[in-house]
């Protein structure tokens, strides 16, 4: 990558506005409309149109929905195509692992040509090489691509709103309609990877996302003692469970994995998983991993305000942000940056590191978070990587989630 910041002035401008020019090496400088504005069709549209046109009547009945389709979603609840006017917007739901429709991409329900078109759609969202990385992640974590992935369409190709959602194990990915919604990517997205198992080896070998955490930890390394005291959260990290006993056992196992009976540990943990659906009306509980609802401009974000950092520290934050955006095509990076700009730039955000679940007790923090008024990028790196992303230009953007 080229240098992220080309001058003192552009550095400060990006900190304030999250402008395109300041991300030079990875994002071409250009003018783009704010998220929510009407513009030309997404680059995802034509591959989506071709895939949609290839569907049979039976397929459309199973995985095509109205734009405002609502369901009373719960963990494991099926079928999702049963409308519930008091439910959540299905297109705005996310999880770390779920099937938006029961039919798997790798099943006979889809043709080989359609499976290829799904990958073409993904390539309009993901930067070159990243679709293949997602396929490798699927192979590492569950099995061949298609064995635990599902698909849904919302809207139609000729309507104002048209979106494709691909879900699976460690996956919520959207294509097409983020430019017509208040949310980047069209809604919350998630990724993950566990190439060395549910309880990954210290250092996360072969994990496709760990390079992002290495850059985040470089930010921490530049902080002075007082800044670290503010940035490092010593309490509970948002996690799959808030049961004190289960959390304490996982914490100790991550710090000192030698001799741990991980089979027994996992059995205990799965008995205490919190699968509460995060949705409007549900009381906020920041111990929940999937709690990434926006706090708004007066939210009181965990960690150290980025605005209080020195220039070298802010440069390191920008390099981290550059890495966070690297996997996506410019259209989707654009959406994220324009949302950031509207809420005051990266300067309006804070960055937090979590002491809990420090794998190998090496003080290379596995869990960290960047959060602003309507920006949450949560990297839960222990016991393996989950990434929860929710970015919008409106703190009231539709959203729901659960831990899958």
Q: Quick: pLDDT tens for 190-217.
A: 999 999 999 999 999 999 999 999 999 9
Q: Are residue 101 and residue 59 in the same domain, yes or no?
A: yes
For residues 287 and 314, membership in a common domain is answered with: yes
Provide the pLDDT for residue 35. Answer: 46
Predicted pLDDT at 219:
98
- pLDDT of 103 > 70? The answer is yes
Q: What percent of the chain has pLDDT over 70?
A: 89
Nearest CA to 273 among 109, 112, 386, 116? Answer: 386
d(CA 202, CA 323): 21
117 shares its domain with 250? no
Q: What is the CA radius of gyration of the chain?
A: 20
Strands 189-193 and 171-175 come out as antiparallel
The predicted model gives 234-252 an average pLDDT of 95
Same domain, 349 and 397: yes
**Exposed/middle/buried for 115, CB within 10 Å: 0-12, 13-18, 19+?**
middle
Least confident of 50-59, 178-187, 201-210, 273-282: 178-187
Do 291 and 178 lie in a common domain?
A: no
Are the C-beta atoms of residues 89 and 161 closer than 8 Å to each other?
no
pTM of the model: 0.92
How large is the average pLDDT for residues 387-403?
96
Helix axes 311-325, 8-17, angle to 10 degrees: 60
pLDDT bin (cut points 50, 70, 90) of residue 45 is confident
Q: What is the pLDDT of residue 44?
A: 79
Q: Is 9 exposed, middle or buried (0-12, 13-18, 19+ CB in 10 A)?
A: exposed
Range scoring the smallest mean pLDDT among 8-12, 109-113, 380-384: 8-12
Confidence category of residue 79, pLDDT binned at 50, 70, 90: confident
Same domain, 54 and 137: yes
More reliable by pLDDT, 285 or 235? 285
Residue 27 has pLDDT above 80, yes or no: no
Residue 9 confidence class, pLDDT cut points 50, 70, 90: very low
Q: Which of 42-56, 171-185, 268-282 has the highest average model confidence (pLDDT)? A: 268-282
Does some domain include residue 1?
no
The parent domain of residue 337 ranges over 203-402
Question: Beta strand 350-354 with 375-380: parallel, antiparallel or unpaired?
Answer: unpaired
Supply the pLDDT for residue 77.
Answer: 78
Q: Identify the pLDDT of residue 160.
A: 83
Q: Are residues 140 and 90 in the same domain?
A: yes
Domain count, the chain: 2
Let me know whether 187 and 209 are in one domain: no
In a domain, 266, yes or no: yes
Per DSSP, helices labelled H in 127-278 are 130-141, 210-222, 225-231, 244-255, 262-270
**254 and 383 in a common domain:** yes
Terminal-to-terminal C-alpha distance of the chain: 35
In this structure, the answer to whether residues 143 and 207 fall within a common structural domain is no
**Is position 166 within any domain?**
yes
Query: Quick one: 136 and 251 in the same domain?
Result: no
Q: Is pLDDT above 90 for 33?
A: no
Query: Would you say residue 392 has pLDDT above 60?
Result: yes
The Cβ of residue 225 has, within 10 Å, a number of other Cβ atoms equal to 6
Whole-number pLDDT of residue 34: 46
The pLDDT of residue 40: 57
pLDDT score for 13? 52
Question: Residue 158 — pLDDT band, cuts 50, 70, 90?
Answer: confident
pLDDT cut 90: percent of the chain above it: 83
pLDDT of 179 strictly over 70: no
- Domain C-terminal end among 193, 226, 247: 193
Task: Give burial (CB, 10 Å; 0-12/13-18/19+) of 58.
Answer: exposed
CB 385 within 8 A of CB 185: no
């Amino acid at each position: 990558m080229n240098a992220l910041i080309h001058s003192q002035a552009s550095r400060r401008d990006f900190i304030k506005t999250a402008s395109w020019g300041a991300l030079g090496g990875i994002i071409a400088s250009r003018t783009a409309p704010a998220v929510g504005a009407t513009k030309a069709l997404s680059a995802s549209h034509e591959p989506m149109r071709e895939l949609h046109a290839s569907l049979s009547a039976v397929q459309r009945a199973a995985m095509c929905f109205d734009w405002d389709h609502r369901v009373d979603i719960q963990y494991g609840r099926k079928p999702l195509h049963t409308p519930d006017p008091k439910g959540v917007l299905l297109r705005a739901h996310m999880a770390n692992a779920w099937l938006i429709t029961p039919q798997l991409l790798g099943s006979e329900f889809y043709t080989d040509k359609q499976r290829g078109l799904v990958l073409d759609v993904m390539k309009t969202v993901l930067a070159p090489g990243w679709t293949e990385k997602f396929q490798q992640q699927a192979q590492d974590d569950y099995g061949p691509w298609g064995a635990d992935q599902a698909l849904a369409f919302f809207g139609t190709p000729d309507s104002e709103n048209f979106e494709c959602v691909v879900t699976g194990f460690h996956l919520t990915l959207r294509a097409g309609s983020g430019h017509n919604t208040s949310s980047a990517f069209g809604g919350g997205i998630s990724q993950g990877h566990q190439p060395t198992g549910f309880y990954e080896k210290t250092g996360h070998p072969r994990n496709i996302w760990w390079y992002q955490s290495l850059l985040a930890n470089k930010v921490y390394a530049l902080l002075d003692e007082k800044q670290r005291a503010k940035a490092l959260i010593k309490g509970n990290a948002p996690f799959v469970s808030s049961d004190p006993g289960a959390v304490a056992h996982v914490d100790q196992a991550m710090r000192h994995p030698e001799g741990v009976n991980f089979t027994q540990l996992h059995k205990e943990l799965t008995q205490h998983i919190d699968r509460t659906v995060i949705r409007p009306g549900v009381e906020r509980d920041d111990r929940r991993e999937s709690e990434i609802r926006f706090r708004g401009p007066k939210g009181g974000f965990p960690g150290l305000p980025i605005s209080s950092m020195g220039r070298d520290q802010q440069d390191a934050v920008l390099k981290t942000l550059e890495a966070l955006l690297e996997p996506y095509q410019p259209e989707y990076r654009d959406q994220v940056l324009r949302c950031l700009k509207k809420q005051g730039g990266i300067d309006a955000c804070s960055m937090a590191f979590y002491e809990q679940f420090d794998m190998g007790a090496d003080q290379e923090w596995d869990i960290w978070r960047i959060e602003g008024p309507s920006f949450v990028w949560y990297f839960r790196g222990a016991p393996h990587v989950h990434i929860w992303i929710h970015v919008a230009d409106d703190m009231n953007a539709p959203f729901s989630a659960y831990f899958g």
